[in-house]
Homo-oligomer: A and B are copies of this chain.
Amino acid sequence: MSKAKIGVVGYGVIGQRLADGVAKQQDMELVGVADIAPTLAIRALAEKGMPYPLYAALPDKAQIFEKEGIPVSGTMDDLLQQVDMILDATSAGVGMKNKELYVKHGVKAIFQGGEKGGVAEVFFHGYANYEKGVGKDYLKLTSCNTTGLIRAVDCLDRAFGVERVVITIIRRVADPGDTHRGLVDVAQVDPVPSHQATDLMEIMPHVEATGLLVHVPTSHGHIISILATPKKAASKEQVLAEFSQHPRIRTVRIADGFNSNTSLFRYARDLGNLRGDMYEIALFEETVELSGNNIFFAINIPQEAVVIPETIDGIRASLRMQTEREAAVALTNKYLGLGLWKKTP
């Protein structure tokens, strides 16, 4: 079977990681990436010797790249003529405009969580509602926070059933290196419910959810506390066992030094992961506790990379590369190296 031909539009924090993630899939081919300006990400691509061809997302931008000595392989049209699917990782609102081009070229697309809901037929999460995305032309992925949150809730839901969740999100307010946003010495409170709770209910309609989001001055991962009311009672050990077996959840111990969002980032750097990224959410083992029948725990969401696996799942669903959820996510996991660190019993 020929490989699925994929393009990435918008080569920023998410776009770079989507490109690298797709390039690892043996059944996919990364045709190229498109952007509009010689950002640091594009400059790094050039310094690395252009491992991926670059296309000018707007026709008149090609010369800007060339002026900076950055080779350009063509325009957006050139890219769209070569691909089966686009991963659109542009800024919110741009994807909606780009969609016209994708439709015109008969190219499928996955949009990221920041894009407006109407852009896609299905609001998608690889683990929670894979089936809904199968064969659909346009998917929108859940946002970084929601993607990681749903991973954890879906894990419990498939094991014990989940009726209700209440979450508190401690949101990192900027990515490393951002200078256009940030907070100094402020924990900023949003009205309840946060959109992550609402989004969770859209993906998992049988669950009732609410939650608070507080923005804090950090850049290396959201921390979420989750109180889940299961349908059938579960012991702490059963809960831990479920989380431990999930290839996209890394169970870590505070006692071992995994005591923060940034310790996980540091560990990923020390592992030699590209950019110090981690695809897995982390579950802090010592935070798992029962309150009555309810399951309480805290996770870390590595906001820069967490959506990559579920987006790649979306490619498999939309292009019907796999119609079975479990087979699809297993393939993504295999190519991304997820689950390999699990200790064999």
Contacts and interface: CB of A to CB of B under 8 A. Distances in A.
Interface of A: 16, 38-41, 43-45, 47-48, 69, 164, 166, 168, 170, 172-174, 176-179, 181-193, 208, 210, 212, 214, 216-221, 223, 225, 227, 229, 254, 256-263, 265-267, 269-272, 274-276, 284, 286-289, 291-292, 294, 296-298, 300, 341, 343
Contact of A187 (B41, B261, B272, B294): B261
A296 B210 contact: yes
Contacts of A193: 289
A212 B225 contact: yes
A271 B182 contact: no
A269 B259 contact: no
B189 A179 contact: no
B257 A187 contact: no
A132 B205 CA distance: 48
B40 A185 contact: no
Contacts of A284: 189
B43 A267 contact: yes
B223 A267 contact: no
Contacts of A261: 186-187
A262 B189 contact: no
B260 A177 contact: yes
A40 B275 contact: no
Contacts of A287: 189, 191-192, 212
Contact of A39 (B181, B257, B272, B296): B257
A216 to B, nearest CB: 4
Contact of A191 (B38, B166, B191, B286): B286
Given A182-B182, A287-B191, A176 B266 contact: yes
A187 B269 contact: no
7 contacts: A168-B170, A170-B170, A177-B186, A181-B182, A184-B219, A191-B286, A208-B291
A214 B166 contact: no
A274 B275 contact: no
A325 B160 CA distance: 46
A54 to B, nearest CB: 14
Contacts of A265: 176-177
A9 to B, nearest CB: 18
A256 B294 CA distance: 35
Contacts of A187: 170, 172, 216, 218, 221, 223, 260-262
